[in-house]
Structure 1
Amino acid sequence: MTKETYFEEIEQTVEERLKNVPAEQLVDRLEKMPVVDVAAYLKSKPVDELIELFKQFSPEEQGLIFADFPYELQMEIFQKLSLKHFAKIFSGMNSQDRIDFYRKLEPEQQTLILPFLDKASREEVIRLSAYPEDTAGGIMSTDFATVRIDMTVEQAMAKIRKDAPSKKMIYYVYVVDSNMVLQGFVSLKRLIMAEPGTKIVDIVYRDFVVAYVDEDRESVAFKIEKYDLVAIPVVNQQGQLLGIVSHDDAIEVIRAEHTEDMEKFMGIIPQEEDLNYEETSVWTHFKKRVVWITSLAAVGVISGMIVHRFESAMEKLIILALYMPMVADTGGNAGSQAATVVVRALALGQLSVRDWFKVIWKEFRVSVLIAVCLGIIAFLKILFLSWETTIPSQFSLLAIAITITIALMLQVVTATIIGALIPLGVKAFGGDPAVAASPAITTIVDITGLLIYFGTAVLMLGL
């Protein structure tokens, strides 16, 4: 089920539940529902009606609901409300949601809203928006609880109540010293179960994983996944606690990185934002796809030159032209498969460039097994489909079938090795392996495949 389908079902369900609710009781009923359901219900309404209902919630509730709206609806609400009113909604959002929305505003809009924010929110927005978006600092939140290591449990609980972090960020309480250097963490459960006079230093967990503020966001997400964390603390080089990255932020990062890698791999220029297919214009789709396709079409002229070079061979034995697409398609599929496997392994940290020989050796063995299977199928296919084909007397169908089969098997092996080598080569030169796009691999494999196909035919059949 897609995200859009899920939200459509939510809207239908919420609509049914609120169908006969009197207008004066509607907000009361909505306030008792999960934020995601409220957002789904409101976004289905005309924007003016939405805003009237929206204003009846508290600023904190408005902030949480607003964060669940699509960006286009967020901007429409932003433009319709006064800056003074919107500043209250903005302050009610979680810190990471605030930064995400703030970054999407034009510089002029950013300068307009800043004066209306309270001092703490203003300073936080300016500080967090300074970090690059692809780093831990760019996705971290300041919505967390800290206690000092020299406190007692009773003092720590009092401080947590005073700081009042959001409920979803209070699973871990981070322990720092007087200079905000991270010393460890305690779980909320352990705090509650401990005696009030117990020292935090006696119950702190000191074995913990951290992310550095300038660390790549994908690396941070993988740490959260690897160690099964609810959140990971973000520190600077001095070990001072700056923020946290939660597991739901990590999921968003992994999804965004996966989308970006798949777009690159399929020869589509990635966008800065994860765009909805239906909401993206034809012109935008065109711009995302045209560069690779036209470039590879130009490179494809080489294939035409090779075919032209062996035109006399095909005139002597026209049956070669019938099975040329089969060999080319098989090679393209084999190369794309190998590239996909290697790109994924590199992205997950399962391989490094130093493992190139092991990769090639393994892919060679895999490709030989695949080539044998496909070779048997191709051989039988040629005999079955072409047994009535007219063939010049100096050639036999059996010899032709063996020749094409050998060419196809060689193509599978070479295509697989090429598909595995290209991502490793790109990575070795410091590039993104995902740019080893599937269309590019297919084009390269087509060229090598034609050379193998006609070269085998010339050598074995004496054309």
Structure 2
Amino acid sequence: MSTRDVRVLEGPEKLRMLLERGNGELAAFLREQHPVDLADMVEELPDDLLVAVFERLGPEQSALVLGELDREARARIVRLLGKERVGDIVEAMDTDDAADLLGELSPEQAGQILGELQAEEAAEVRELLHYEPDTAGGIMTTEYVAVNQGMTAQEAIEHLRQRAPDAETVYYVYVVDDDEHLLGVLSLRDLIVAPPETPLKHIMRTKVVSVFHDQDQEEVARIVSRYDLLAVPVIDHQRRLLGVVTVDDVIDVLEEEATEDALRAAAVSPGEEGGDLRGGVWRLARPRLPWLLALLFMEFLAGSVIDRFRGGFDGVTLALLSVFIPIMAGEAGNGATQALAVVVRGLATGEIAEREVLAVVWREARVGLLAGLITGVVLFGVTTLWKGDLRLGLVVGLALALNLPVAKMLGGLFPIVIHRLGIDPAVASGPFITTVTDFTSMLTYFTVAALLLTQLG
């Protein structure tokens, strides 16, 4: 392929061609790439070409690319590059990203790489590794700017010039006392416009939004979103400043939590996003089987309801009633899932407070009652015209009118109950609540049919 042909290639194809040819354009091509794009390009490279890419990248660019790769790709690169090269890359990473990477490795591997770091850097990473990964401490960085309350604006600016190159973010400057207790916060604008000799205590804001090191990462993300922050300080329970959580880490948390909730809502275990098409079938099926088996036995309850009532109807009537079983079960399941989605989101965003529990359940019941009346009337009319049977139309219409408020109430109540028990409401999955409403809808449907057909028959 000619040099001109190489130029028309894009992305992974061009990178592979330049690597195989050892073309002089390779270094320039790598420098021009955004870390996210370069991460996408290198993931599918064979081992030899992958090593060749990282041999040509500096530690800083390697650190950025490594931070954009998934867990399996990072583990592969660590294995291929060796502890010395990985140590250089980790040393160039932000401390929170370095801790995340080492936390994914075996203790032996992590210890070897820590041994390659400078003592101060290694100590900071070890400190972060002590925190639970899904907490504020687990996602914070210790690379921030703090100034002493006794400084003036000019002294703070001079301190900022010295510290800024090592900080992950300098949008906020935190004010602490001699014992590192968080006292206030300043913006860069506050420092720049203040007269040079102004004491910081006269210009700092003392009401600082902060989080504790053991707060759940989802709560941290909610606070950053609520107050539109670029970073939030992390403190211990004595209000000593430990680090900051930056908005880029919050975005990662939101994506992770949203993915996890979506998978759980479908009764699928987190970690089964399906991006790896080469994964074994058994590996994917195994975590799903417990859910499927549990739901299978729960569905027997709905079947037992039908079996319990079938002796009370003749064959023709039972056949007619069976035609509308999918409608009863489907509408109830859909109604419950709608309520479930609304309530789970409200709990996740903090829009539903503890004192509002009964109001929420009552609201969903009223929504279900209104929806049930309308859909019940429609079903009554359609069934009567379709089958020419007023009694059958009355049975299915009334059953649906009763089923929807019950389903809506269950869909609203269930996540609230398990939230009260300290369980993530996302585990109130759609398949689970649908299975529950299959039982309640069949019980309601055949009870109404038995009562009305007996009375009117």
Distance 2:299 2:15 in 1: 58
Q: For residue 437 of structure 1, what is the aligned residue in structure 2?
A: 429
Shift of 1:62: 2.1
Distance 1:180 1:198 in 2: 21
Shift of 1:104: 0.4
Structure 1 pair 296/168, CA: closer, same or farther in 2 (3 Å)? same
Shift of 1:26: 3.1
Distance 2:354 2:172 in 1: 38
Shift of 1:258: 2.0
Distance 1:431 1:50 in 2: 42
Matched letter for residue 169 of structure 1: T
8 Å Cα contact 1:231-1:244 kept in structure 2? yes
Shift of 1:287: 1.9
Alignment of 1:93-108 (within 5 A): 93-108=93-108
SS in 1 for 2:244: strand
SS in 1 for 2:324: helix
Q: For residue 114 of structure 1, what is the aligned residue in structure 2?
A: 114
Structure 1 pair 102/37, CA: closer, same or farther in 2 (3 Å)? same
Q: For residue 457 of structure 1, what is the aligned residue in structure 2?
A: 449
Structure 1 pair 366/206, CA: closer, same or farther in 2 (3 Å)? same
Shift of 1:163: 2.3
Shift of 1:17: 11
Distance 1:120 1:306 in 2: 68
Matched letter for residue 299 of structure 2: G
Distance 2:185 2:179 in 1: 16
Q: For residue 56 of structure 2, what is the aligned residue in structure 1?
A: 56
Matched letter for residue 403 of structure 1: V
TM-score computed with the length of structure 1 as normaliser: 0.88
Structure 1 pair 316/23, CA: closer, same or farther in 2 (3 Å)? closer
Distance 1:350 1:171 in 2: 29
Structure 1 pair 53/330, CA: closer, same or farther in 2 (3 Å)? closer
Is 1:405 aligned with 2:404? no
Distance 1:156 1:38 in 2: 38
Distance 1:41 1:324 in 2: 51
Distance 2:41 2:309 in 1: 65
8 Å Cα contact 1:184-1:204 kept in structure 2? yes
8 Å Cα contact 2:94-2:168 kept in structure 1? no
Is 1:448 aligned with 2:440? yes
Structure 1 pair 56/160, CA: closer, same or farther in 2 (3 Å)? farther
Moved more, 31-40 or 170-179: 31-40
C-alpha RMSD over aligned residues: 2.6
Q: Which runs of 5+ in 2 are unaligned?
A: 1-8
Q: For residue 415 of structure 2, what is the aligned residue in structure 1?
A: 423
SS in 1 for 2:87: helix
Q: For residue 286 of structure 1, what is the aligned residue in structure 2?
A: 285
SS in 1 for 2:115: helix
Shift of 1:237: 1.4
Matched letter for residue 34 of structure 2: P
Shift of 1:43: 4.1
1:346-376 deviation digits (Å, cap 9, x = unpaired): 1221224442321222112111111122112
Moved more, 36-45 or 92-101: 36-45
Q: For residue 27 of structure 1, what is the aligned residue in structure 2?
A: 27
Shift of 1:384: 3.6
SS in 2 for 1:243: strand
Q: For residue 305 of structure 2, what is the aligned residue in structure 1?
A: 306
Shift of 1:33: 4.5
8 Å Cα contact 1:426-1:432 kept in structure 2? yes
Identity between Structure 1 and Structure 2 (%): 33
Q: For residue 245 of structure 1, what is the aligned residue in structure 2?
A: 245
Q: For residue 147 of structure 1, what is the aligned residue in structure 2?
A: 147
Q: For residue 3 of structure 2, what is the aligned residue in structure 1?
A: none
Matched letter for residue 252 of structure 1: D
8 Å Cα contact 1:260-1:270 kept in structure 2? yes
Moved more, 441-450 or 51-60: 51-60
Q: For residue 5 of structure 2, what is the aligned residue in structure 1?
A: none
Distance 1:168 1:119 in 2: 20
Distance 1:431 1:238 in 2: 28
8 Å Cα contact 1:153-1:199 kept in structure 2? yes
Structure 1 pair 241/314, CA: closer, same or farther in 2 (3 Å)? farther
Distance 2:408 2:194 in 1: 60
Q: For residue 339 of structure 1, what is the aligned residue in structure 2?
A: 340
Structure 1 pair 165/19, CA: closer, same or farther in 2 (3 Å)? same
Distance 1:403 1:287 in 2: 42
Shift of 1:260: 2.0
Moved more, 346-355 or 140-149: 346-355
Matched letter for residue 367 of structure 1: G
Structure 1 pair 203/33, CA: closer, same or farther in 2 (3 Å)? farther
SS in 2 for 1:347: helix
1:176-209 deviation digits (Å, cap 9, x = unpaired): 1221111222222333344444433333222220
Distance 2:166 2:157 in 1: 15
Q: For residue 183 of structure 1, what is the aligned residue in structure 2?
A: 183
Distance 1:405 1:132 in 2: 53
Shift of 1:249: 1.0
Structure 1 pair 275/123, CA: closer, same or farther in 2 (3 Å)? farther
Distance 1:267 1:223 in 2: 28
TM-score computed with the length of structure 2 as normaliser: 0.89
Distance 2:193 2:114 in 1: 43
Q: For residue 394 of structure 1, what is the aligned residue in structure 2?
A: none
SS in 1 for 2:329: helix
8 Å Cα contact 1:133-1:139 kept in structure 2? yes
8 Å Cα contact 1:103-1:129 kept in structure 2? yes
Is 1:254 aligned with 2:246? no
Shift of 1:84: 1.6
Shift of 1:265: 2.5
Q: For residue 4 of structure 2, what is the aligned residue in structure 1?
A: none
